[in-house]
């Protein structure tokens, strides 16, 4: 049975998003406002509408406790509100100034992710309201975001159809073309799926797109988190069991090959050593297109293993580019950045810190020679 119980018509333009807490309903609109309603009788709260944004509000979401509401807008800001009195707690400006399309709290309320039209994604500290980390996708604007139920990683979806998995340090754990057209939404199931034999825990993720498809993915937090160190990385690849390989095949939309791989006892080490000849001669995969797809997936895996096994220290990574620094400089916020990236940041954006989002006391950049020497020593050791 479906029965309409109430209609709300307070907004003056298109309503872009709605969200529930345990006691409230929040809505946001092209009319630049956010409105709050009581679930008891759907009356609007006395301190509603919430007004600050100067352009359309695209998304709103409650913290798990329901005490804080986040809203994001074309004006390039994400705002945190106290839902009990409507007080504005913080205004967090997207470092690039780009329109913010989506925002989402972590399950423990400690972090808030915001994704923008230029592909930048920022992880904010929801207690201090300061920027924690930032990254970006290569193409498209960000349109979807979801945290895993245990909060150890989160996923973003772009208008180009890319699905990206990030950890809490904004390291890209996985990226692939999930939909031919743009991704419109993604979400995790709150209930994990356990593998009875291996004792592993998986999460189901659904993504939907403009290609008229909904795709269901399985994500192993154990394997994703295992990429953080070189020792654990070995567990993630060469030490995969045959069941782990089967799980990987299913995640790559190659479940029809599970039987063939099991029959040939393909474990993680064997997987990384497969070639076009062995796929054709040993595994008897007749389809050239299917062999090519498998090889591409394996090559992607080899590339991730090679890059992650280098174990680049986090302090050698520029917070803006998320790449190894070549010419590090110290900014007036005390953090080190790649010189060219920071110069572009200061010249094109508001003069705020990429790490703290506070105004920089000075635009002076000082060469960090000590860090540059450390990076060069590390490169000499790891490029032999």
List, for residues 277-303, the tens digit of each pLDDT value. Answer: 999 999 999 888 899 999 988 887 776
Q: Which fold has domain 15-229?
A: Methylamine Dehydrogenase; Chain H (2.130.10)
pLDDT at 238: 67
What is the mean predicted confidence (pLDDT) over 16-37?
Answer: 94
* Cβ neighbours, 10 Å, residue 106: 20
The pTM of this model reads 0.59
Are 209 and 160 a contacting pair, CB within 8 Å? no
Per-residue confidence (pLDDT) for residue 317, from 0 to 100? 82
Stretch(es) of the chain classified as CATH 2.130.10.10: 15-229
For residue 335, the model assigns a pLDDT of: 84
- Is residue 158 pLDDT above 80, yes or no? yes
Per-residue buried b or exposed e for 38-58, using 16+ beta carbons within 10 Å of the residue's own CB: eeeeeeebeebbbebbeebbb
Determine how many CB atoms are found less than 10 A away from the CB of residue 11. 19
Q: Look up tokens 């159809």; give the residue.
A: 161
Flag the least confident range among 36-45, 187-196, 254-263: 187-196
Percentages of the chain per state (helix, strand, coil), in multiples of 5: 25, 35, 40
**Residue 304 — very low, low, confident or very high, per pLDDT cuts 50/70/90?**
low
> Residue 5 CB: number of other CB atoms within 10 A?
5
The confidence score (pLDDT) of residue 225 equals: 36
Which of 57-61, 128-132, 339-343, 364-368 is modeled with the greatest confidence? 57-61
Q: What is the pLDDT of residue 382?
A: 62
Mean pLDDT within 178-202: 76
- Please determine, for residue 220, whether its predicted confidence score (pLDDT) is greater than 50: yes
Please state the rounded mean pLDDT for residues 17-30: 94
Residues of the chain with CATH 1.10.150.50: 233-309
**How would residue 200 be classed by pLDDT, with cut points 50, 70 and 90?**
low
Please tell me the predicted confidence (pLDDT) of residue 228.
34
pLDDT digits (tens, 9 = 90+) for 231-243: 334 444 666 778 8
Bigger pLDDT: 124 or 309?
A: 124
Are 266 and 274 within 8 A, CB to CB? yes
- Residue 158 or 192, more confident: 158
List pLDDT tens digits, range 132-143.
888 888 778 899
Preceding omega of 49 cis (within 30 degrees of 0): yes
Mean pLDDT of 321-338: 85
Residues 6+ apart with CB under 8 A from 294: 254, 257, 274, 279, 285
Which 8-state DSSP code applies to residue 229?
S
Mean pLDDT of the chain: 84
For 233-309, CATH number? Answer: 1.10.150.50
């Amino acid at each position: 049975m479906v029965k309409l119980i109430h209609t709300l018509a307070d907004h003056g333009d298109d309503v872009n998003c709605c969200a529930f807490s345990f006691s409230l309903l929040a809505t946001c609109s092209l009319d630049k406002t956010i409105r709050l309603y009581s679930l008891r009788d759907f009356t609007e709260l006395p301190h509603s509408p919430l007004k600050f944004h100067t352009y359309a509000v695209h998304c709103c979401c409650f913290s798990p406790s329901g005490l804080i509401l986040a809203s994001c807008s074309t004006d390039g800001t994400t705002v945190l509100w106290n839902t009990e009195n409507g007080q504005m707690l913080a205004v967090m400006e997207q470092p690039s100034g780009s329109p913010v399309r989506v925002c989402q709290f972590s399950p423990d309320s400690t972090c808030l992710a915001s994704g923008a039209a230029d592909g930048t994604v920022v992880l904010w500290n929801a207690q201090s309201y300061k920027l924690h980390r930032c990254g970006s996708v290569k193409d498209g604007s960000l349109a979807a975001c979801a945290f895993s139920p245990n909060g150890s990683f989160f996923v973003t979806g772009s208008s180009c159809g890319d699905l990206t998995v990030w950890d809490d340090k904004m390291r890209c754990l996985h990226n692939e073309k999930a939909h031919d057209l743009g991704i419109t939404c993604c979400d995790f199931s709150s209930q994990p799926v356990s593998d009875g034999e291996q004792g592993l825990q998986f999460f189901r993720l659904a993504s939907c797109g403009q290609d008229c498809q909904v795709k269901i993915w399985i994500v192993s937090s154990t394997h994703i988190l295992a990429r953080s160190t070189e020792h654990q990385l070995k567990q993630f690849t060469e030490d995969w069991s045959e069941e782990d390989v089967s799980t990987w095949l299913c995640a790559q939309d190659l479940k029809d090959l599970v039987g063939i791989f099991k029959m040939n006892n393909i474990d993680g080490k064997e997987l990384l050593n497969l070639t076009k000849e062995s796929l054709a001669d040993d595994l008897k995969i007749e389809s050239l297109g299917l062999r090519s797809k498998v090889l591409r997936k394996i090559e992607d895996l080899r590339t991730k293993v090679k890059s992650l096994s280098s174990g680049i220290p986090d302090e050698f990574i520029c917070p803006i580019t998320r790449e190894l620094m070549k010419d590090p400089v110290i900014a007036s916020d005390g953090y080190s950045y790649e010189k060219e990236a920071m110069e572009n940041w200061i010249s094109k954006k508001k003069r705020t810190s990429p790490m703290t989002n506070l105004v920089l006391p000075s635009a002076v950049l000082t060469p960090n020679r000590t860090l540059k020497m450390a990076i060069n020593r590390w490169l000499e050791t790891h490029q032999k």
